[in-house]
Amino acid sequence: MRKFKVIPRLSAVLNRINAQTLKFSLCFRLMFFFALVSSIVWGIAGYISYKETRESIDEFFDTYQMALSRQLAAADWSAVSLRTQHATNKLIKNIENADDDDDAIGFAIFTQNGKMIFHDDENGKYFPLNNTAFGTFVNERLEHKGDKWRLIRLSSADGKYIITVGQELEYREDLAMDIVEEFLAPWLIGFFFLLFAIAGLTYFEFKPLKRLAHSINKRSADDLSPIDVQKSPIEVRPLIDAMNHMFQKIATLLQRERSFISDSAHELRTPLTALKIQLEIVQMADDDAQMRQQALLKLQKGIERAERLVEQLLALSRLEADNGHYDNVEILNWAEICTHLIDEYRLMVDNKTISLIAEDGAQPPFTTGNHILTALLIRNLLDNAVKYSPKNAHITLKIADGEFTVINSDTVVDEAILQRLTERFFRPAGQKETGSGLGLAITKRIAELYHCQLYFENSPEGFKVTIKA
């Protein structure tokens, strides 16, 4: 009963195996190519063995035919008669196994006028007489038997008789094939045993991969801990190391996204609350036009701040999601971008009586990239410089020696704050200027996309921000 239970299981396994599965099965492909290459090698080896064996057999039997021909040529055939033929036939028949391999050799003795006077009583009696082919081997087909024979003809020592000794070529071929089969058969049987052994070994050696896949499938969605490589085969460790590296990157990305969402929700709550308060003031103003006007003005500024915050959040989100893969790469003109941005901030600069100049030089931090991202990088630095510089300050933009520098004169930043300037939503206490705390974080991310670094320092010239390749 047990064997009948195995059959349905085997049938179910075979049903799951289809051509597509076998095509992408590493185990099947290894076995297939091993069998294919081994079969080709075995076939070539068999063919070479057959050819060499056949050459050796031809050489051996040709030598044997020559030796027999010489012995028969040296004999005295003058006293041979029909009674001699009958007598020798009886003697041969009384020998055990005398009829075996009757195609191994044959001979016949002819007189010069073509009369056959003696033969081996098997095949020689069918040999034809050919007076032209003497002293050389010829392949001829016997009319009576229809088989090809290898014949040699010699004259007797006294010149009165013609000696013909022959052997069937098919016998040589059969003998060569028998020798090759006996030689290669054990190897062929061993090959099939080796094939099954390798199949079993491959199956068991691939089990660690199946266990690895099973352990990964059992993991929860938030389990991104590294996979243990100590018990894994050496050949699989590079794959596991790559997976662990990917898990680490995914964990970092998830943590960053969670922090981003949490901080964004927290930062959006403040302007939304302020908007709600101003809206309530507008509703409570009734006929007080001055109160309504002030509330509407603050409501407008709150909307602008919220709009700016959302724009910054979207920009940072796109930078994180795209990971720097932008299709529109173009040659950048840093001087032109700086000039255009300075024109945008001209009114704000004039209101604060700030001197804003740009010193154009050679070799910016990067010369090709996305124009919008580069403009956003410079805009964020310029925006901070204009907002947080005191009145009558000097702001200088420099492009030279693979660096882009923004210098704020008369501005000093506390050393403790310098370390946190690129943190998301970080704003030092006591700030009167509105902002989201995302500008420098976005600037740092853009710089990283182009393999640049962002530096802050308090120099004798003032507070300096540098982007260096």
Q: H/E element holding 459? A: strand 453-459
Using CB atoms within 10 A of its CB, is residue 323 exposed (0-12), middle (13-18) or buried (19+)? exposed
Query: What integer is the mean pLDDT of 164-180?
Result: 89
- pLDDT above 70: residue 327: no
The pLDDT, as a whole number, for residue 2 is 47
Establish if 2 belongs to a structural domain: no
Q: How many domains does the chain divide into?
A: 3
Establish if 209 belongs to a structural domain: no
- Bigger pLDDT: 197 vs 12: 197
331-359 confidence digits (pLDDT tens): 888 888 888 888 888 888 888 888 888 88
> Which one of 156, 172, 188 terminates a domain?
172
3-state secondary structure 243-275: HHHHHHHHHHHHHHHHHHHHHHHHHHHHHHHHH
DSSP character for 234? G
The CATH number of the domain holding residue 164 is 3.30.450
Q: 308 and 346: one domain?
A: no
Establish if 193 belongs to a structural domain: no
Do 164 and 68 meet the contact criterion of CB atoms below 8 Å apart? Answer: no
> Which one of 322, 343, 376 terminates a domain?
322
Q: 308 and 364: one domain?
A: no
Compute the C-alpha angle 26/32/38, nearest 5°: 130
Q: How many CB atoms lie within 10 A of CB 265?
A: 9
Establish if 138 belongs to a structural domain: yes
274-312 confidence digits (pLDDT tens): 777 777 777 777 777 777 787 778 777 777 767 766 766
Q: 365 and 437: one domain?
A: yes
In which domain, by residue range, is 314 found? 251-322
pLDDT > 70 fraction of the chain, expressed in percent and rounded:
80
Q: 316 and 337: one domain?
A: no
> Which one of 322, 354, 370 terminates a domain?
322
- Quick one: pLDDT band at residue 268, thresholds 50, 70, 90? low
66-113 confidence digits (pLDDT tens): 998 998 888 888 888 777 777 776 766 666 655 555 567 889 999 888
Measure the CA–CA gap between 296 and 278, rounded to whole angstroms: 7
The CATH number of the domain holding residue 417 is 3.30.565.10
Measure the CA–CA gap between 304 and 274, rounded to whole angstroms: 12
Confidence (pTM): 0.46
Alpha-carbon dihedral angle through residues 173, 174, 176, 182, given to the nearest 10 degrees: 160
Q: DSSP assignment of 372-429, as one string?
A: HHHHHHHHHHHHHHHHHSPTT-EEEEEEETTEEEEEETT----HHHHTTTTSTT---T
Which tokens sit at 418?
A: 């310098």
Q: 376 and 290: one domain?
A: no
Establish if 196 belongs to a structural domain: no
The CATH number of the domain holding residue 266 is 1.10.287.130
Do 425 and 266 meet the contact criterion of CB atoms below 8 Å apart? Answer: yes
5-20 confidence digits (pLDDT tens): 545 554 554 455 555 5
Q: 315 and 402: one domain?
A: no
Establish if 147 belongs to a structural domain: yes
Do 209 and 216 meet the contact criterion of CB atoms below 8 Å apart? Answer: no
Residue written as token pair 């509105």: 434
